[in-house]
């Protein structure tokens, strides 16, 4: 039987081979051609087996076997092996029984197996090419229209991404494509970032649910571990305990495939001065005051995002100046301004943390003092959205908040609201020390929060009364009495006027202070020298009183802050 006389409705062997090697290997006509080609191969093999028994001469028998090695015949036999390996082996078992040709039969069988393997390899390459063609960067960008998704991203080999979700693509042993949904919505990595403090890598991950995109910057360690990755479900990410492992592999492959295309930014977990020497600028909410280097993006730890919202400006500078007028003639309120504005100076001056405490009877202006202090940097409100907080908080929350604010004042109102007296004592000690407690974490040790800041606090009783530690008590500037003055209609009206005016005009002095410090970076040594001179003068005035000498250091900080503040336009 000639290979061209296969009895397939006039279709030549060349046409069958071409169809079986279709550009689209999953096309129905390609699969059908493969089956037909396998039938041709089986028919040829059976024909040779039948004829071997009737051919008397060994040379003629050898010719029949060698004919199976002709390229087109061998291709058809390779197809037959792929379709029905068992039937091919059974016929070759018959061929081995013919005397004198066992070695030739084995050579032909090995050639058939090689042909089948080559066809499988070619099929896999065509499938891989087809998968890659469906996931070109142009197609991915077109599918996922959003400004935060960089151009040029591609889906990694073995995966497919579309608006219906994420799919795992695998090629089975028989060459067919297996497509399995691993996420019911699209999710991908759109950027990388490096924390400037500890070098931790974070990934910017985006996902689409109900036609709305969500983007979160997450520690890379979270994305690469199935258990913590499930926590993204709280933001409606398409992840659960059932698909987390597959998503980890997909996101890992996606990052690797696009590592050169993903933008890499610098991030920080805290506000205030950035880098150990503040060279990366100052972050106030999401506003950055540059010194050197690239932009730094604020990425708070979970639960601290809302704290960043209140550190902003509202109203006007002139409006704030008019609103603050009642404080100008009241020293305890002016000290609140000085202490608040002085906080970022601690790093510049290399001065220690300290606490300013207003104590006295209720409704005598203590909260108003904190409101004046808060207006330097942002919204002077104790409710949600403001930067004044209550002592009705845990020690851990206060510690984390101090670390997040870092170079900005921590403002806590009314010590009597603390759940336990011991909490106040512990917070005063921790704050003065400038570093949180060491704590364990699921994967090791949690990074300790640290800060260089001033704590502003109020209470009916002095804060020093909560602590027996002499060192802590010596870190507190304790102010007793009414910041507004004696109880009167005039002072009550002043309190109301301050509250109303500062709620509508705030945040401007803080921005001016940071602008001044950033633009005068070259004069920091001179500012520090002024501080040293004033500190030495106050310490000398304190004489042999050790506590007074320590407090003199803090007064020198306030003095430097006052001189800068008044030079920026605040009336004396």
Residue 301 has a pLDDT of 83
Least confident of 361-375, 509-523, 539-553: 539-553
In the chain, the percentage of residues whose pLDDT exceeds 90 is: 50
Separation between Cα atoms, residue 206 and residue 63, nearest integer Å: 66
**Cβ atoms of residues 207 and 214 within 8 Å:** yes
Residue 6 has a pLDDT of 43
pLDDT tens digit string along 528-543? 999 999 999 999 988 8
Residue 408 has pLDDT above 80, yes or no: yes
The tokens of 245 are what?
């492992």
Residue 127 has a pLDDT of 65
Q: Which helix (H) or strand (E) holds 267?
A: strand 264-268
Separation between Cα atoms, residue 282 and residue 263, nearest integer Å: 23
pLDDT band for position 119 (cuts 50, 70, 90):
confident
The tokens of 306 are what?
């809302």
Chain Cα centroid distance, residue 347: 28
Cα angle 364, 369, 370 (rounded to 5 degrees) comes to 120
Average pLDDT over residues 269-279: 83
Separation between Cα atoms, residue 76 and residue 13, nearest integer Å: 8
Helix (H, G, I), strand (E, B) or coil at 376: coil
Query: Residues 190, 196, 199, 202: what is their CA dihedral angle, to the nearest 10 degrees?
Result: -20
Residue appearing with tokens 């002499």? 470
Separation between Cα atoms, residue 486 and residue 95, nearest integer Å: 117
pLDDT tens digit string along 26-53? 343 456 777 888 888 889 889 888 888 7
Residue 242 has a pLDDT of 94
Burial 393-418, CB ≥16 within 10 A → b, else e? bebeebbbbbbbbbbbbbbbbbbeeb
Sequence-ordered alpha helix ranges (H) in 350-389: 366-374
The larger pLDDT score, comparing residue 445 to residue 546, is at 546
The larger pLDDT score, comparing residue 525 to residue 83, is at 525
| Strands 454-459 vs 354-359: parallel, antiparallel or unpaired | parallel
Sequence-ordered alpha helix ranges (H) in 158-292: 220-223, 226-229, 244-257
| Strands 272-273 vs 282-284: parallel, antiparallel or unpaired | antiparallel
User: Which of the given ranges, 84-93, 170-179, 272-281, 339-348, has the highest pLDDT on average?
Assistant: 339-348
Average pLDDT over residues 103-110: 91
Average pLDDT over residues 182-194: 94
Average pLDDT over residues 239-263: 95
CB half-sphere exposure, 471, CA atoms < 13 A: 8
Residue 319 has pLDDT above 50, yes or no: yes
Separation between Cα atoms, residue 319 and residue 316, nearest integer Å: 5
Least confident of 297-311, 327-341, 367-381, 452-466: 297-311
Sequence-distant (6+) residues with CB within 8 A of 256 are 156
Separation between Cα atoms, residue 120 and residue 142, nearest integer Å: 33
Separation between Cα atoms, residue 270 and residue 451, nearest integer Å: 9
What's the burial of 450, exposed, middle or buried (CB within 10 Å: 0-12/13-18/19+)?
middle
Residue 106 has a pLDDT of 92
Helix (H, G, I), strand (E, B) or coil at 276: coil
The larger pLDDT score, comparing residue 5 to residue 173, is at 173
Average pLDDT over residues 240-256: 96
Mean pLDDT across the chain: 86
pLDDT tens digit string along 213-240? 999 999 999 999 999 999 999 999 999 9
Average pLDDT over residues 447-459: 90
């Amino acid at each position: 039987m000639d290979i061209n006389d296969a009895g397939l409705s006039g279709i030549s062997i060349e046409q069958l081979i071409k169809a079986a090697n279709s550009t689209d290997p999953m096309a129905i006509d390609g699969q059908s051609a493969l089956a037909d080609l396998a039938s041709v191969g089986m028919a040829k093999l059976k024909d040779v087996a039948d004829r071997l028994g009737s051919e008397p001469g060994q040379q003629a028998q050898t010719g029949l076997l060698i004919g199976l090695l002709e390229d087109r015949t061998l291709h058809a036999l390779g197809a037959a092996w792929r379709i029905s390996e068992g039937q091919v082996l059974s016929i070759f078992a018959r061929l081995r029984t013919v005397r004198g040709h066992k070695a030739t039969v084995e050579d032909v069988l090995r050639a058939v197996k090689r042909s089948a393997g080559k066809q499988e390899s070619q099929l896999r390459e065509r499938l891989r090419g087809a998968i890659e063609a469906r996931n070109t960067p142009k197609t991915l960008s077109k599918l996922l229209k959003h400004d935060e998704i960089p151009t040029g991203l591609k889906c990694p080999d073995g995966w497919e991404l579309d608006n219906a979700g994420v799919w795992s693509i695998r090629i089975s042993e028989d060459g067919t494509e297996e497509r399995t949904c691993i996420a019911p919505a699209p999710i991908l990595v759109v950027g990388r970032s490096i924390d400037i403090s500890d070098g931790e890598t974070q990934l910017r991950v985006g996902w689409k649910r109900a036609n709305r995109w969500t983007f979160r910057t997450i520690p890379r360690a979270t994305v690469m571990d199935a258990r913590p990755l499930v926590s993204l479900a709280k933001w409606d990410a398409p992840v659960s305990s059932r698909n987390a492992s597959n998503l980890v592999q997909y996101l890992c492959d996606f990052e690797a495939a696009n590592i050169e295309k993903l933008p890499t930014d610098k991030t920080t977990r805290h506000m205030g001065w950035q880098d150990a020497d503040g060279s990366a600028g100052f972050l106030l909410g999401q506003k950055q005051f540059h010194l050197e280097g690239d932009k730094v993006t604020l990425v708070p730890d979970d639960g601290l995002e809302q704290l960043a919202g209140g550190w902003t400006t509202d109203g006007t500078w002139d409006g704030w100046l008019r609103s603050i007028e009642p404080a100008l003639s009241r020293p305890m309120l002016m000290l609140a301004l000085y202490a608040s504005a002085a906080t970022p100076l601690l790093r510049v001056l290399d001065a220690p943390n300290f606490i300013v405490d207003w104590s006295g009877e209720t409704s005598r202006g203590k909260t108003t003092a904190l409101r004046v202090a808060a207006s330097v940097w942002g919204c002077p409100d104790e409710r949600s959205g403001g930067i004044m907080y209550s002592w009705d908080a845990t020690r851990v929350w206060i510690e984390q908040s101090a670390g997040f604010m870092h170079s900005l004042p921590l403002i806590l109102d009314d010590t009597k609201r603390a759940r336990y007296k011991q909490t106040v004592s512990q917070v005063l000690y921790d704050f003065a020390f400038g570093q949180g407690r060491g704590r364990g974490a699921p994967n090791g040790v949690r990074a300790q929060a640290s800060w260089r800041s001033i704590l502003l606090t109020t209470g009916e009783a002095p804060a020093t009364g909560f602590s027996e530690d002499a060192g802590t008590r010596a870190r507190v500037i304790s102010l007793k009495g009414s910041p507004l003055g004696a109880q009167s209609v005039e002072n009550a009206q002043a309190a109301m006027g301050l509250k109303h005016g500062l709620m509508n005009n705030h945040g401007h002095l803080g921005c001016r202070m940071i602008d001044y410090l950033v633009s005068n970076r070259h004069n920091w040594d001179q500012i520090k020298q002024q501080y040293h001179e004033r500190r030495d003068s106050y310490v000398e005035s304190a004489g042999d009183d050790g506590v007074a000498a320590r407090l003199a250091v803090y007064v020198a900080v306030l003095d430097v802050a006052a001189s800068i503040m008044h030079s920026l336009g605040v009336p004396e």
